[in-house]
Amino acid sequence: QVQLVESGGGLVQPGGSLRLSCVASGSIVSINAMGWYRQAPGKERELVATIASGSTLDYADSVKGRFTISRSIAKDMVSLQMNSLKPDDTGVYYCYADIRRSVSHRNAYWGQGTQVTVSS
């Protein structure tokens, strides 16, 4: 059993900042990649940022220069620092992890989601 637990969402004014965190727990051998996706009302889920085990980073064009993803391998944790937030950043943010539980079991796992609302 693997769980991803997110924290840090909320309501913020345009131009403000929020920090999201996600911790993975359970039967984990290794984590290959972690990241964040988001889903706005009426839209499909989209990639926000990911970080692989080799520290390779990937960001959506819309957040480059404003968001920073970081990871603690020792703590099985990923964080997303979001600055200069815009109303278009509003949505439910989901933590993602590519986790190996054994030699033969490797799956993608998702958190329950945390709401981020950017509004004045």
pLDDT for 86 equals 98
Predicted local confidence at residue 22, as pLDDT: 98
For 16-73, the pLDDT digits (tens) are 999 999 999 999 999 999 999 999 999 999 999 999 977 889 999 999 999 999 999 8
Q: Provide the pLDDT for residue 55.
A: 81
Spatial CB neighbours of 45, under 8 Å, sequence gap ≥ 6: 37, 38, 39, 94
Return the closest-CA partner of residue 23 out of 58, 71, 68.
71
Cβ neighbours around 36 below 10 Å, total: 27
Percent of the chain, pLDDT > 70? 100
* Mean residue pLDDT across the chain: 95
Residue 88 carries which DSSP code? G
State phi, psi for 79 to the nearest 5 degrees.
-130, 155
Q: What is the pLDDT, as a whole number, of residue 20?
A: 98
